[in-house]
Amino acid sequence: MRFIASRLLQAIPVLLVVITATFFLVRAAPGGPFSADRAVSPQVIKALNERYQLDQSVWQQYAAYMTDLARGDFGPSYKYPGRSVNEMIFGGLPATAELGLYALLVAVGIGLCAGLLAGLRPNTGQDYVPMTIAMLGICMPAFLLGPLLVLVFGMRLEWLPISGWGDLPGDKVLPSLTLGAAYAAYIARLSRAGLLEVMSQDYIRTARAKGLAEWRIVSRHALRGALMPVIAFLGPAFAGLLAGSFVVETIFQIPGLGRFYVQAAFNRDYTMIMGTTIFFSVAIVLFNLLSDILATWLNPRLRLALRKGSGT
């Protein structure tokens, strides 16, 4: 569809900005990647610099990097000789993707249920209890919730394993909960507000006047409108989940992309930082695109306007 194509076109400059900014930021860093190590002789540094083409001008390096990138090659890792950034990214990706998926399921599942329950009976116990919990979820960051869950369910009660990914049964529960909790809270608040907003619309009154039952009014007439803000939130939520994975993977020692990224940041493994940054950015931009398309598709006004062919 033309709409998707035009959105993809708009994403390209964003990605170019990201890549360029990342590249020059990293180059502007004080000290090269190898100067931090004390025990290395100047000759070795020189050799290393030559090998990684760090002796060329910045523009040459930029051109070379962009060319590699166009071929999908993120270059070699500075810190782990012999391993390419591609290998490391795709090594960490499965765990992170799985964690993100489960967390998203937690967020959407719990969040929607809580939000819709609360929105159906505003200003009652059915509203206050889930909403207070949701507020708690927003106020308790993953790096606090995670350790607390570990403390209670892992160390004291010893119900669930406290680290690892796919090694022991149930070791995926705590990380997914930790990562998803805050977003479940946001989604609960958004869907509650959305439902309240929609339920006050005139067309809900029309539906009532037709004699529809309450559950049918909600499911048929209100739900779609109420979910629009949630769908629009999915893009930013995905970006947040990625950032959250840094912490969660560190806490639970999950061999995922997030932990690699944090390690790379501390090791000043520049190609790795650049590679993961760009990879994350592409993922975020694409996910934003996806939630955009979904929101447009669900809104008949926008959908029909597009079908008529007025592209943008």
Partner 1 sequence: MALLEVEGLTVSFRSRYGQVTAVDNVSFSVTEGETLAIVGESGSGKSVTCYSLLQLLPRPPASIEAGTALFNELDLLRLSERELRKVRGSEIAMVFQDPMTSLNPYLSIGSQLIEPLQLHHGCGRREALQKAVVALKEVGIDRPQTRISDYPHQLSGGMRQRVMIAMALIAEPRLLIADEPTTALDVTVQAQILQLLKRIQQQRQLTVIFISHDLAVVAEIADRVLVMHQGQVVEAGSCSEVLQRPQQQYTRDLLAAVPRGAKQKTATEVAPALLRVSQLSTWFAGSGGSFFGAEAAPNKAVDDVSFEVRRGEIVGLVGESGSGKSTTGRSVLQLLPQTAGLVEFDGVNLSQLKRYQMQQMRRRMQMIFQDPYASLNPRMTVYECLAEPLLHHGLAVRGSAMAQVLQLMDDVGLARAGIRKYPHEFSGGQRQRIAIGRAIATRPEFIVADEPVSALDVTIQSQILELLLALVEQHNLSMLFISHDLAVVRKLCDRVLVMRAGKLVESGAVEAVYANPQHPYTKTLLAALPQLAAVP
Partner 2 sequence: MSVALPVDAQQSSSLWGDAWWRLRRNRAALAGLIFLSVIVVVALLTPLLAPYAYEEQRLALGASGPSAAHWLGTDVLGRDMLTRIMYGGRVSLLVGFVATAVALLIGVLYGAVAGYVGGRVDAVMMRFVDILYALPFMIFIILLLVIFGQSMLLLFIAIGAVEWLTMARIVRGQVQNIRRQEFVEAAVSMGLGPWTIIRRHVIPNTLGPVIVYTTLTIPSVMLLEAFLSFLGLGVQPPQSSWGLLISYGVETMEEFPWLLVYPGLALTLTLFALNFLGDGLRDALDPQSASGRGGS
- Using CB under 8 A, list all residues that contact partner 2: 11, 13-14, 17-18, 21-22, 25-26, 28-30, 135-136, 138-141, 143-144, 147-148, 150-151, 155, 202, 205, 239-240, 242-243, 246-247, 250-251, 261-262, 265-266, 268, 273, 277, 280-281, 284-285, 288
| 76: helix, strand or coil | strand
Tokens of 132: 């207070």
What does the alpha-carbon distance between residue 245 and residue 258 come to, in Å, rounded to a whole number?
5
In whole angstroms, the minimum distance from the beta carbon of 120 to partner 1 comes to: 14
Contact code string over 274-303 relative to partner 1, x by CB under 8 A: ------------------------xxxx--
Q: Taking Cα atoms as reference points, which of 97, 202, 184, 172 lies closest to residue 138?
A: 184
C-alpha torsion angle, residues 78, 79, 84, 85 (rounded to 10): -90
Tokens of 250: 């560190």
What does the alpha-carbon distance between residue 265 and residue 93 come to, in Å, rounded to a whole number?
17
219 binds partner 1 (CB under 8 A): no
In whole angstroms, the minimum distance from the beta carbon of 113 to partner 1 comes to: 22
| 300: helix, strand or coil | helix
In whole angstroms, the minimum distance from the beta carbon of 134 to partner 2 comes to: 10
The residue (of 43 and 200) whose beta carbon lies closer to partner 2 is: 200
In whole angstroms, the minimum distance from the beta carbon of 129 to partner 1 comes to: 20
In whole angstroms, the minimum distance from the beta carbon of 195 to partner 1 comes to: 14
36 binds partner 1 (CB under 8 A): no
What does the alpha-carbon distance between residue 260 and residue 202 come to, in Å, rounded to a whole number?
52
Q: Residue 229 contacts by C-beta under 8 Å, 6 or more apart in sequence?
A: 190, 191, 193, 194
In whole angstroms, the minimum distance from the beta carbon of 252 to partner 2 comes to: 12
19-27, 51-59, 109-117, 209-217 -> range binding partner 1 (CB under 8 A) = 209-217
User: Which of the residues 162 through 201 are near partner 1 (CB under 8 A)?
Assistant: 201
What does the alpha-carbon distance between residue 19 and residue 277 come to, in Å, rounded to a whole number?
8
124 binds partner 1 (CB under 8 A): no
What does the alpha-carbon distance between residue 275 and residue 279 come to, in Å, rounded to a whole number?
6
Asked if residues 78 and 270 have their Cβ atoms less than 8 Å apart, the reply is yes
37 binds, among partner 2, partner 1, none (CB under 5 to 8 A by kind): none
> Count of residues for the chain?
312
In whole angstroms, the minimum distance from the beta carbon of 242 to partner 2 comes to: 7
| 84: helix, strand or coil | strand
Asked if residues 258 and 248 have their Cβ atoms less than 8 Å apart, the reply is yes
136 binds, among partner 2, partner 1, none (CB under 5 to 8 A by kind): partner 2
The residue (of 57 and 310) whose beta carbon lies closer to partner 1 is: 310
210 binds partner 1 (CB under 8 A): yes
| Cα Rg of the chain (Å, integer) | 24
Place of tokens 């499911």: 219
The residue (of 109 and 311) whose beta carbon lies closer to partner 1 is: 311
105 binds, among partner 1, partner 2, none (CB under 5 to 8 A by kind): none
Contacts with partner 1 by CB under 8 A lie at: 201-203, 205-214, 220-221, 224-225, 298-301, 304, 310-312
